[in-house]
Amino acid sequence: MASSGKRHEEGPIAKAIEEQTAKLPSDLFLWGAAAAILGSLTLRFLDRKQDSQFVGQWAPTLLILGLYNKMVKALGHDRTDDD
């Protein structure tokens, strides 16, 4: 594919989200995922299977958000934009 030479710029909503998520420590998401796993296990032992599955599904979401947080810090709009 040929490059047009035009720089990609994020929209105002994406910039606002990146500015806020970059302020969060990355390990916050890891600890949140660990808490979701432990909470899910606890609920499972208490025979609350549906609640356990619901809480257990938070872990991958939190880990993906943590990955996004890392990417924003490393590759976010602040690396390419002049403002």
Tens of pLDDT, residues 48-64:
999 999 999 999 999 99
This prediction has a pTM of 0.71
Where helices occur in 1-83 by DSSP H, the ranges are 12-21, 27-45, 49-56, 58-75
- What is residue 24's DSSP assignment? S
Range of the domain at 42: 25-75
More confident residue, 75 or 25: 25
Q: Is residue 36 part of a domain?
A: yes
Q: Nearest 5°: phi and psi at 56?
A: -65, -25
CB 18 within 8 A of CB 77: yes
Distance between CA atoms of residues 23 and 69, nearest Å? 9
Tens of pLDDT, residues 8-57:
677 888 788 888 877 888 889 999 999 999 999 999 999 999 999 999 99
- What is the number of domains present in the chain? 1
More confident residue, 1 or 38: 38
Q: Is residue 2 part of a domain?
A: no
| Residue 77 confidence (pLDDT) above 80 | no
